[in-house]
A and B are shown apart, each in its own frame.
Chain A
Amino acid sequence: MSTRLTPSQTVGPFFGPALIRASDGRMADGGTRGERIVIEGRVLDGAGAPVPDAMIEVWQANAEGRYDHREDTQEKLLDPNFHGFGRAGTGASGEYQFHTIKPGAVAGEGVALQAPHINVCVFARGLLHHLMTRIYFPDESAANSADPILNLVEPERRATLVARDAGKSSPRILRFDIVLQGDHETVFFDV
């Protein structure tokens, strides 16, 4: 147990000028390897109302499934054109958007692979501590069924962690709504 940690406090409503730059939602450029995707969705509160003052941060592996971090020692290529971090504020209708690539599978415990996923951190006025969740992919049902983290979630709630294909488009658009509270509450993780 830790004893001296600095406690968390809410990000409040006025973080935008300090934290949000429009370019932080564009994580891939022309040289980035992998399948181009757009992740978009809305943040909704317990009354179903949009949350227009949230900030979403994402952290993901590259198309090979490697994180750009010294502790990821998997024998996979780094991509000099992809670093894996993105940040976006929500708009008036609670919407957010990231332009990125689909990550590869990364190592789990032992020999098990984790299904491709994007790690998500949610901040907002009214959240005294940020929320952590993950975005999984709808075209990875076999990998998702074997994923060690998804398998910790009651089966009936797993769908809240899987993005939906928003129909044919290029680049591919995946919808991922984040519901803070209520019957369709997104699964959040104690990390």
Chain B
Amino acid sequence: MIAGYRRPAPGVHPRNDAPAYASTAQRAPRKHAIKIPHTLSEITGPRFDSTPALSADLTRFDGGAALGERIIVAGRVFDDDGRAIPHALIELWQANAAGRYAHPTDQHDAPLDPHFSGVARILTGDDGEYRFITIKPGAYPWRNHPNAWRPQHIHFSLFGPGFAARLVTQMYFPGDPLLALDPIFNSIADPVARERLISRFELETTVAEYALGYQFDIVLRGREATPGQD
């Protein structure tokens, strides 16, 4: 018998049917997803142990220093039994300090930074830890509703041990007044779960004379007890 992944509690993950986020209108499925038991197909998944970690310092791209406020983001990746997830692939992307992505379809009238690409791939260490140095991303407007602005955020993509634990999410910053107005952040029904996407300023992660530090732990699904075990 296979020990599957535990199902998330209601309200932790957003429902795709979220009318305040306009792009969902034509894209959210209308029929219920069919619940399936976890087989070998769901508990297995790709491993990236041999993936070379690209730069974990995003502040120096193409031979020069990126503009903006340099920050350190660090944390650990766990499962929800508190077990560290080592050698998990984390992929990151974000806007630059002016709130613009180095992406052809981002037409926001803000400058690109030739020394900031805003992307990185890293692997967690033996204790699930990760750390990268970047520039604090700027807020930017989007056309979801009149005068809509995304709060400052960094995108995270994570592969845990199995395909069923796949997660793409966004990390936010403490005290951002745009959080209360953001339909993507507020698509998470459970307010306690929502707060888990807000990183914490941490003096221990901060490096004197260099950069402020933010702590952001990520928790992926844990496993059911093996049938027959208590």
Contacts and interface: CB of A to CB of B under 8 A. Distances in A.
A97 B23 CA distance: 24
Contacts of A3: 9, 80
Contacts of B146: none
Interface of A: prevailing SS = loop
Nearest to B170: A9
Contacts of A132: 33
A111 interface: no
Interface in A92-118: 106-109, 114, 117
A130 B194 CA distance: 18
A141 B70 CA distance: 58
Contacts of A14: 93, 95, 101, 103, 105-106, 155
B47 A69 contact: yes
A163 B38 CA distance: 22
A2 interface: yes
Interface residues of A, number: 70
Contact of A6 (B14, B29, B106, B220): B220
A5 B219 contact: yes
A59 B220 CA distance: 19
Interface stretch (B124-132, B160-168, B206-214): B160-168
Contacts of B55: none
Given A17-B119, A128-B21, A9 B44 contact: no
Contacts of B25: 46, 126
Contacts of A109: 1-2, 37, 39
A185 interface: yes
Contacts of B193: 5, 7
A189 to B, nearest CB: 5
Given A2-B12, A188-B34, A72 B44 contact: yes
A185 B33 CA distance: 11
Nearest to B81: A2
Nearest to B106: A14
Given A6-B197, A14-B93, A121-B163, A126 B26 contact: yes
Given A9-B169, A11-B168, A126 B119 contact: no
B40 A107 contact: yes
Nearest to B188: A7
Interface in A124-141: 124-132, 134
Interface in A2-20: 2-19
Contacts of B38: 191
A121 B28 CA distance: 14
B219 A117 contact: no
A123 B155 CA distance: 13
A6 B196 contact: yes
Interface in A45-61: 45-47, 49, 51, 53, 57, 59, 61
Given A7-B197, A71-B40, A12 B155 contact: yes
Interface of B: 1-2, 5-9, 12-16, 18, 21, 23-47, 80, 91-93, 95, 101-103, 105-106, 117-121, 155, 157, 161-164, 166-170, 184-185, 187-188, 190, 193-194, 196-197, 217-222
Given A2-B12, A2-B222, A149-B39, 18 more contacts: A2-B6, A4-B219, A9-B168, A9-B184, A10-B168, A10-B170, A11-B168, A13-B106, A18-B119, A45-B26, A45-B27, A59-B163, A68-B47, A71-B40, A109-B2, A126-B25, A153-B34, A180-B26
